Amino acid sequence: MTSRRDFLRTTGLLSIVPAVAPMLPGDAMSMSDPATARRRVQATVDLVVRGGTVFDGTGANGREMDVAIHQGRVVQIAARITDRGTEEIDARGLAVAPGFIDIHSHGDSSLREDPRAESAIRQGVTTIVVGADGSSRFTGDAGDSYAEWATRTAGYKASVNVASMIGLGTVRGKVIGEVDRKATAAELTRMTAMVARAVEQGACGASTGLEYTPGAFASRDELIALCKPLAAPRLPYATHMRNEDDELLEAIDESIAVARGAGCPLQISHLKMQGTRNWPKFESSIARIGAARAAGMDAWFDVYPYVAYATGLTNLFPVWARDGGTPAFLARLDSAATAQRIRTEALGKVELIGGWDNVQISRVSAAEDRDAEGKRLGAWAKARGVDPYEGAVGLLKRNRADVGMLGFAMSEENLDRLLAHEFGMVCSDGGAFAIDGPTRRGSPHPRGAGTFPRVLGRYVRERKALSLASAINRMTARPASRVHLKDRGVLAPRMAGDVVVFDPATVADTATFANPFQYPVGIRAVVVNGRVTIRDGQHLAAAGQVLRAT
């Protein structure tokens, strides 16, 4: 039988570093413990992580090392550190890595309600990059700037670090609204200035969600203009492309054209080939990205390890029908002039992903529809004795179009290849929730609680799609470099004390589509800015910071 130590040696391609954190009230090892009390008297650093196989995030092989952290920073990595820590973690037989960085997260949506960010931090995620899919919680306009957002977010005292892009859909919504029309010259100037101001203040890129309104109404020329402020600082244009199924290749071409026109890096968000007839487009998709890179473009993509995506139920309906916002969309569903066309196009989308039972309702806002949450729409409609399309329209009307869904449309084989590809990195595209408290609601995508352990357990250990070291690199150094978090993502002296300690032989996700409110296993400790935040399942601290691109 392969031991944990053998597993680490044979799968590692990186080097690791343990971390140190100050003692906190309620920590697992308290001053009432005599050994801990003696160590506190003798301690010269805050935290020592001892004897783990350290993966430094760079792609180097793992090595058995000690890691010392003091005042929030890694201060030493060595085969044997003689200094004692105020707190120590025995990591023998375990992997030690930089804290995971989720380059595409929606975790900011619940931080005000529940700053613990339980489903993220318990995966080993120490930094979330938000403002994704064209939607940010600031516009960049006067009175709603990145700086004001950062101050507000810091006040939540979250358990994770938070960095943000500026959402170009949010910018367009502020200046133009929910209507489908070309921006005037004055509006374009104003929007570009809003992006530039956000970047100057620390935003780590700009994002689009071109399947969502109002972002979907932006032309290529508008996107190029708004992305030009990203060129000088070399920050990425991160795009949820205009299409991820039948027009996938054309959408990739547009994304490349925008980045080329703006002169900025390109990050294709959650790359996928959606619908069985589009699964063979893997090679063509990668070839287009590879050609752009060969021509000098800084182009990458991210991917989450699930065969289902999450979106709004409105995304099954054509973009043109959503022009003007929710009231106009709902009116068109009943209009004799548009209802049949909408139905035909929506049913085409449903057929593409394999039928109504490949649509799962994840969230509603109307209490009368709570029974739909977690149900496949086809089965739910059948139980109610209604046509599935009419059932979907009824949900949208009763909930004022505020209905979430999961779509089962991707292939496991493509996931293996995307996760392992040299151009890729890992993201969750998920929110932050908890098994208790105000964020336990609906039936969310399990990626919010399982992405990173799922890669390590299912795709590294079980399916052997990629090595442990490569997986860690895609979760740490690579995303940190991408969004210019220069003191994160690598375990080395003077770097931030963000660390995850996990058991590579047991780490796994437990959240499922049927029961998403389950935390992963095998994550032994998580350290954020030098403070032990998670240890043996206990949530001990809140040390997250708002991070700015540098």
Please give the single-letter amino acid code of residue 508.
A
Average pLDDT, 10 consecutive residues per value, the chain (550 residues): 44 34 33 50 89 97 97 98 97 98 97 98 98 98 96 98 98 98 98 98 98 98 98 98 98 98 98 98 98 98 98 98 98 98 98 98 98 98 98 98 98 97 98 98 98 98 97 98 98 98 98 98 98 97 97
Q: Does 449 fall in a domain?
A: no
Domain boundary among 389, 408, 427: 408
Can you list the alpha helix ranges (DSSP code H) found in 335-421?
339-352, 377-384, 388-398, 412-420
Tokens representing 130? Answer: 């938000």
Three-class HEC string of 281-335: HHHHHHHHHHHHHHCCCCEEEEECCCCEEEEEHHHHCCHHHHCCCHHHHHHHHHC
Q: How far is CA 88 from CA 62, 68, 97, 104, in A?
A: 20, 9, 16, 32
Query: Residue 374: which domain range?
Result: 310-408
The alpha carbon dihedral of 157, 158, 164, 168 has a sign of negative
Q: Does 414 fall in a domain?
A: no
Check: CB of residue 29 under 8 Å from CB of residue 539.
no
What is d(CA 203, CA 147) in angstroms, rounded to the nearest whole number? 9
Phi and psi at 303, nearest 5°, equal -155, 145
pLDDT of residue 37: 54
Check: CB of residue 70 under 8 Å from CB of residue 45.
yes
Q: Does 87 fall in a domain?
A: yes
Q: Does 332 fall in a domain?
A: yes
| Count of domains for the chain | 2
Tokens representing 436? Answer: 């208790």
What is d(CA 498, CA 500) in angstroms, rounded to the nearest whole number? 7
Tokens representing 301? Answer: 């993509």
For residue 87, give the CATH number of its domain.
2.30.40.10
Q: Is 336 in a helix, a strand, or coil? A: coil
CA angle 99, 102, 106 (to 5 degrees): 135
Q: Does 528 fall in a domain?
A: yes
- Give me the residues paired with residue 268 across strands: 239, 301
Domain boundary among 359, 376, 408: 408
Within 10 Å of residue 517's Cβ, how many Cβ atoms?
Answer: 21
Domain boundary among 361, 379, 408: 408
- Name the residue among 132, 28, 122 with its Cα closest to residue 483: 132
- Give me the residues paired with residue 299 across strands: 266
- Name the residue among 229, 226, 250, 231 with its Cα closest to residue 298: 231
Q: Is 95 in a helix, a strand, or coil? A: strand
Q: Does 372 fall in a domain?
A: yes
The alpha carbon dihedral of 359, 365, 366, 371 has a sign of positive
Check: CB of residue 303 under 8 Å from CB of residue 427.
yes
pLDDT of residue 43: 82
Q: Does 31 fall in a domain?
A: yes
Strands lying side by side in the sheet with 125-130: 100-102, 125-130, 161-164
Check: CB of residue 126 under 8 Å from CB of residue 99.
yes
Q: Does 129 fall in a domain?
A: no
Q: Is 533 in a helix, a strand, or coil? A: strand
Tokens representing 85? Answer: 């820590």
